Amino acid sequence: MAKRHFATAVLLAGLLLLPFNGATSAPSGHVTADTPRHLTPDYPLDRDCSPLTSLFSSWDDVDGNKRDAPHTGVDGGRLGDAVLAPAPGEVIAVWHADWGWGPEGALMLRHTREELGLSDGPKIYYSEFDHLRYDEIARLRVGTRIKRGQVLAHVDRPGGDEEYLPEVHLEVWSIQDEGATQWDKNEHGGKYWVNETGHLIDPLYMMSLNASARRDHSVAITPFDATRDYTGFRGFTYFLPCPALKAKKR
Ligand SMILES: [Zn+2]
């Protein structure tokens, strides 16, 4: 769903910040606001990943409608799918949100650069999950440590309303000054936050960091695997399930 009307200016700032790779003609680390390059997911062929349904900065909503503003994150998931923590972190907010489609739950995790296996760039990242059921996430307390791949919630519908297609919205921010975060209520009575030092990041960019950049801007999705050792892994694993496809009989 198109979520935030105020985010357009911030989004454009975020696009300018996106460190797209040097394979493009644009100078490294710079992309003009009028020519955003969309990163696209490339799912492993031996998995049935629950798909993304709307990409970052897209004007197209999952239902075919045009958004009011470029998309501030990615949407995905099938009804009831587990929503997985894409990296280790800490719960910093659990709240009652309402973006105009009805009351729902929102969750924000904080990830340090070190937790993401990164040695440079911003020190703090926030990942926000929307369109959750508040009663499901109410158990998550601020300050709780979260492990990569931990089930945070399950995919629901915006506002829990059957009128809307199921999805979870994930958006990612780098935050320069955490003290600058301010909370307010919108016209629907839902809480929201702003931070003038925050920059939106394409969640797929966070999922691209463990591999070298591709010329076609596709991102090889890394499913979370509970048996894998993620020591040294950079960035995000996929935040939705990717069950293995059954091997073909010989
Ligand atoms: Zn969305």
Structural domains of the chain, with CATH: 7-220 (2.70.70.10)
| Distance (Å) from CA 169 to ligand 1 centroid | 4
| Distance (Å) from CA 228 to ligand 1 centroid | 29
pLDDT by 10s per residue, the chain, length 250: 544 433 433 444 444 344 333 222 222 233 334 434 689 999 999 999 999 999 998 888 878 888 888 999 999 999 999 999 999 999 999 999 999 999 999 999 999 999 999 999 999 999 999 999 999 999 999 999 999 999 999 999 999 999 999 999 999 999 999 999 999 999 999 999 999 999 999 999 999 999 988 899 999 999 999 999 999 999 999 999 999 998 666 6
What tens digit of pLDDT does each residue of 197-223 get?
999 999 999 999 999 888 999 999 999
Gap between the Cα atoms of 207 and 223, Å rounded: 10
Cβ atoms within 10 Å, residue 55: 19
pTM of the model: 0.85
| Distance (Å) from CA 171 to ligand 1 centroid | 8
Gap between the Cα atoms of 246 and 168, Å rounded: 26
| Distance (Å) from CA 131 to ligand 1 centroid | 9
Gap between the Cα atoms of 62 and 44, Å rounded: 22
| Distance (Å) from CA 142 to ligand 1 centroid | 24
Q: Exposed/middle/buried for 86, CB within 10 Å: 0-12, 13-18, 19+?
A: buried
| Distance (Å) from CA 60 to ligand 1 centroid | 10
| Distance (Å) from CA 227 to ligand 1 centroid | 30
| Distance (Å) from CA 143 to ligand 1 centroid | 26
Q: Are strands 74-76 and 52-54 parallel, antiparallel or unpaired?
A: antiparallel
| Distance (Å) from CA 105 to ligand 1 centroid | 14
Cβ atoms within 10 Å, residue 133: 16
Segment holding 110, helix H or strand E:
strand 104-112
| Distance (Å) from CA 87 to ligand 1 centroid | 20
Residue 240's pLDDT is what?
98
| Distance (Å) from CA 1 to ligand 1 centroid | 5
| Distance (Å) from CA 217 to ligand 1 centroid | 20
Residue 193's pLDDT is what?
97
| Distance (Å) from CA 112 to ligand 1 centroid | 24
Residue 165's pLDDT is what?
95
In sequence order, which residues have a C-beta less than 8 Å from that of residue 115 and are 6 or more positions away? 87, 88, 89
| Distance (Å) from CA 248 to ligand 1 centroid | 35
Residue 249's pLDDT is what?
60
CA dihedral 87, 91, 93, 96 (to 10 degrees): 80
